[in-house]
Structure 1
Amino acid sequence: MRKPALSAAALVIALGGLTACGSGSDQKNAEPNSTTAATVDPSTKPVAKPLTAGDAFTKLSATVSSAKLSGVVTEDNDPNHLLGRPNQYTSKITFTDSRIKADDVAGAEPGSVGLGGAIEVFKTAADAQARADYIQKVTQGIPMLIEYDYVSGTALVRVSHYLTPTQAADYKAGATSLG
């Protein structure tokens, strides 16, 4: 009974040896030369860095010089407790706008959109649009909470209602460079 087992083992070894021997035409093992083109592994192709709120602000502030970064929202200081939650923003910054009168925002909390605005960045454009739609629905009919909201790709630019429509249009123009 042992002979068939040995014969099977010998057969496996022999077949393994045959598959290891190549004819020399195996392209995977060939060195690139004038007749063999090297292929690029797609996994080594650089991947685009996802947009962050900080990156978005850098682009936006190049268009709107009156905007100044005022804060970076983290998990520990997020007043909305949305950072990193499912379908919510993945990064957020707040900014001030020097065109807003100090008397108009006296007593406003630091980081308040009323002081200038905020940029929230999401994983998907649909999530950014859903957030903008939610904000518009909740603030509708409450003049103190109304704001300008501009969605560009995965970024939502939220702008203070203390700015005039003409001033807010600067942010709308700048937001187009984010998507």
Structure 2
Amino acid sequence: MKRIVSIILIVLMVYSFVACSGTVIATHTAEQIVEELKSSGMPITNVVVYNETTDPNGLLGRPHQYTSKVNFSDPAHKDADIASPDNTVEVFQYADDAWKRANVVRDVTKSMPASAEYVYQVSFYVLRLNHDILPEDAAKYEEAFKAIIG
């Protein structure tokens, strides 16, 4: 009898854990993150919000790729191209996909020092900054980014 009661209790515990576990999803879009970075004092201009037809990489909305993407300029760095913003926020459906994307970008730019980027990944989110941004300014972006994501 004790064995049956123990089995029933274990089954009930398993079902209660499954019922209580929620699906974790991204709570911010790339546009919202950029707006919050701007509100936190980061010198952001020329915000470009992409959709499935305007994404220059053709990845937005594709399986295991980002679900939203925004590029922006930081006029404080010396080679800022205001007409062609080169800093990016990407949001993914799965944190694992964001991690993979961050690593791909790091690996690709590692072999090309002139195009190396600062790449910060937290959960579903990736922040990519142009290599011309000063390290102390990149650290400020990283701090603000992590504060937004929580």
TM-score over 0.5 for the alignment? yes
Q: 1:55 aligns with which of 26, 32, 42?
A: 32
2:33 & 2:42 partners in 1: Cα distance?
14
Q: For the Cα contact (< 8 Å) 1:63–1:170, is it kept in 2?
A: no
Q: What amino acid sits opposite 1:170 in the alignment?
A: K
1:110 paired residue number: 84
State the secondary structure of the residue aligned to 2:69: strand
Provide structure 2 residue ranges, at least 5 long, that are not aligned to the other structure: 1-24
- TM-score normalised by L of structure 2: 0.75
Q: 2:77 aligns with which of 75, 79, 100?
A: 100
2:101 paired residue number: 131
The structure with the largest helix share of the pair is 2
Q: What amino acid sits opposite 1:175 in the alignment?
A: F
1:119 paired residue number: 89
- Following TM superposition, by how much is the alpha carbon of 1:174 offset from its aligned partner in structure 2, in angstroms? 1.0
- Following TM superposition, by how much is the alpha carbon of 1:56 offset from its aligned partner in structure 2, in angstroms? 1.1
1:96-145 CA distances to partner (integer Å, 9 max, x unpaired)?
Answer: 112122xx256x8723x2xxx11000001111111000000111121221
2:136 & 2:52 partners in 1: Cα distance?
34
- Following TM superposition, by how much is the alpha carbon of 1:71 offset from its aligned partner in structure 2, in angstroms? 0.4
1:175 & 1:99 partners in 2: Cα distance?
18
Number of aligned residue pairs: give it.
127
Q: 1:82 aligns with which of 49, 53, 59?
A: 59
Q: For the Cα contact (< 8 Å) 1:89–1:120, is it kept in 2?
A: yes
- TM-score normalised by L of structure 1: 0.64
1:129 & 1:82 partners in 2: Cα distance?
16
State the secondary structure of the residue aligned to 1:90: strand
- Following TM superposition, by how much is the alpha carbon of 1:169 offset from its aligned partner in structure 2, in angstroms? 0.4
1:71 paired residue number: 48
2:116 & 2:32 partners in 1: Cα distance?
26
Q: For the Cα contact (< 8 Å) 1:64–1:171, is it kept in 2?
A: no
Q: For the Cα contact (< 8 Å) 2:77–2:134, is it kept in 1?
A: no
Q: 2:121 aligns with which of 151, 169, 172?
A: 151
- Following TM superposition, by how much is the alpha carbon of 1:72 offset from its aligned partner in structure 2, in angstroms? 0.6
1:150 & 1:160 partners in 2: Cα distance?
12
1:87 & 1:65 partners in 2: Cα distance?
29
Give the RMSD, CA atoms, in angstroms.
Answer: 2.3
1:61 & 1:105 partners in 2: Cα distance?
17
- Following TM superposition, by how much is the alpha carbon of 1:175 offset from its aligned partner in structure 2, in angstroms? 1.2
Identical positions, percent: 34
Larger radius of gyration: 1
2:149 paired residue number: 178
1:65 & 1:171 partners in 2: Cα distance?
7
Provide structure 1 residue ranges, at least 5 long, that are not aligned to the other structure: 1-47
1:148 & 1:122 partners in 2: Cα distance?
18
